[in-house]
Amino acid sequence: MSIIQRARASEARSIIPLLGPPLIWSLHLLACYFLTSATTVAGVTGMRIEIAIATAVALSGIALCAFVADHPGLPAAATEADAADLPPFIRSLGLASCLLFGLAVVFTLVPSLVLKGFF
């Protein structure tokens, strides 16, 4: 694998841990607001389970982004040369982003657990 191919592979892999967690968090927040507004308008109660399922899916997506940031090569990489390693700064920033937005996803879940009369 040439140097240019390794650089392109590294750039493509650096997008996942940097842009994945904020995208997942924003979609999770949108889904929770949609479920909450649908609950309020329709008068349906018991949306806690749906919000908890959306939170579990979002946390698993963020965990996958952290896995991509932490491991130098995907499992499909045939040789050591095929595994394009992320630069240390991008790796650290990706892991910090995963941690920050993982906490944000958990804090989005907290009101649905605390406000018993609302849901």
pLDDT tens for each residue of 23-72: 999 999 999 888 888 877 777 777 778 888 999 999 999 999 998 888 76
Confidence of residue 78 (pLDDT cuts 50, 70, 90): very low
Nearest to 2 by CA among 88, 85, 82, 90: 82
Global pTM reads 0.76
Residue 15, pLDDT score = 82
- Radius of gyration (Cα) for the chain, nearest Å? 18
Q: In whole angstroms, how far apart are CA 54 and each of 25, 57, 69?
A: 10, 5, 23
Q: Is residue 39 a part of any domain in this protein?
A: yes
* Greater model confidence, 61 or 8: 61
Tokens at 70, concatenated: 């932490």
Tell me, yes or no, whether 119 lies in a domain.
Answer: no
- Per DSSP, which regions of 36-97 are E strands? none
Q: What is the pLDDT of residues 11-20, one digit of tens each?
A: 667 788 889 9
Residue 18: both structure tokens together: 């940097």
The verdict on residue 18 lying in a domain is: yes
Within-domain flag for 53: yes
SS3 42: helix
Asked if residue 72 is part of any domain, the answer here is: yes
Asked if residue 41 belongs to a domain, the reply is: yes
pLDDT of residue 82: 45
Q: Which residue has the higher pLDDT, 49 or 107?
A: 107
Q: 107 in a domain, yes or no?
A: yes
Domain count, the chain: 1
3-class state of residue 7 by DSSP: helix
Collect all residues with Cβ–Cβ distance below 8 Å to 44 and sequence separation of at least 6. Answer: 38
- How many of the other CB atoms lie within 10 Å of CB of 41? 8
The whole domain housing 76 covers: 3-114
Res 113: pLDDT: 76
pLDDT at 16: 82
